[in-house]
């Protein structure tokens, strides 16, 4: 059933309000530097749950979008969860994170941004959610996912799994939310971008432009321009070419991180 504009506005306002309440509750429960381990434990739990459900989620993503392949998406689920965890674990995100070492006389204190709006691509409808959610939670933020219309079903189901994980570890479920299939639309996404405190977007030029045009601080990532530069002293061209072809063909070439141009020394051609 299609929502009226008034119904959609009320739906989005309620979602953002619940996110604000959850974020403030999470922040106030972890104000001290000694609470860092507890915050990290929440991030780790989310990552572990995503890995545990990787095969089922990957199959559902391929079935809904018709893009990529199951094996590659499983690998991405595992890789992104592990990469994100290994990057953020043990790093300070509470209290004083720099007491003047980097900038003499300037003390840097970590503070949550609030509620983050996150636009998802159909090409990576679950792996992007893992990374964005873990990063948001690490810094005691809440996050609302705006799914791509082509992957709204699996994105919503995946977020519901994350919410169940949050509940199981005693964290507020509303720290991570997803716009439902019924509400998912360009209008809902635009409302989210204007209501949230900070926005991130992964996708095509039009979507990234919308993220940057909402009047809020934002990070946008477009379609990519990944290039490989082969060193003139490279000893094994076969090995290098195999890696490039493997990376470009992963998930049937869907990821924007796949090479789109290769620079090879003339004497290696």
Can you tell me the distance from the alpha carbon of 264 to that of 262, in angstroms, rounded to the nearest whole number? 6
> Do residues 237 and 268 lie in contact, with contact meaning Cβ atoms separated by under 8 Å?
yes
Question: Where are the alpha helices (H) located in 30-178, listed in sequence order?
Answer: 36-52, 54-65, 70-88, 127-138, 152-168
Length of the chain: 269
SS3 content of the chain, % helix, strand, coil (to 5): 55, 15, 30
Maximum Cα interatomic distance, the chain, rounded to a whole number of Å: 65
Task: Tell me the three state secondary structure of residue 222.
Answer: coil
> Do residues 159 and 176 lie in contact, with contact meaning Cβ atoms separated by under 8 Å?
yes
User: Residue 176 is encoded by which pair of tokens?
Assistant: 């991570």
Query: Measured in whole angstroms, how far is the alpha carbon of residue 130 from the centre of its chain?
Result: 5
Would you call 135 a catalytic residue per the annotation?
no
Can you tell me the distance from the alpha carbon of 189 to that of 15, in angstroms, rounded to the nearest whole number? 12
Residues taking part in catalysis: 256
């Amino acid at each position: 059933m299609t929502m009226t504009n008034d119904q959609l506005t009320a739906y989005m306002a309620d979602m953002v309000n619940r996110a604000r309440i959850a974020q403030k509750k999470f922040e106030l429960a972890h104000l001290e530097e000694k609470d860092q381990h507890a915050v990290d434990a929440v991030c780790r739990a989310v990552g572990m749950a995503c890995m545990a459900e990787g095969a089922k989620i990957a199959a559902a993503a391929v079935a809904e979008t018709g893009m990529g392949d199951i094996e590659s998406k499983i690998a991405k689920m595992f890789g992104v969860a592990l990469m994100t965890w290994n990057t953020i674990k043990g790093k300070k995100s509470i209290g004083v994170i720099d007491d003047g070492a980097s900038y003499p006389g300037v003390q840097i204190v970590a503070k949550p941004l609030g509620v983050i709006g996150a636009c998802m691509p159909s090409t990576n409808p679950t792996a992007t959610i893992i990374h964005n959610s873990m990063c948001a939670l690490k810094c005691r933020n809440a996050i609302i996912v705006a799914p791509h219309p082509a992957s709204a079903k699996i994105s919503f189901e995946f977020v519901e799994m994350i919410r169940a994980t949050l509940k199981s570890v005693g964290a507020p479920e509303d720290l991570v939310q997803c716009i439902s299939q019924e509400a998912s639309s360009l209008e809902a996404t635009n409302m989210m971008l204007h209501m949230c405190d900070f926005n991130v977007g992964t996708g095509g030029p039009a979507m990234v432009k919308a993220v940057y045009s909402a009047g809020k601080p934002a990070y946008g990532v477009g379609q990519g321009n990944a290039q490989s530069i082969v060193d003139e002293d490279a000893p094994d061209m076969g090995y290098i070419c195999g890696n490039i072809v493997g990376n470009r063909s992963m998930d049937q070439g869907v990821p924007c991180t796949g090479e789109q141009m290769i620079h090879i020394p003339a004497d290696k051609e």
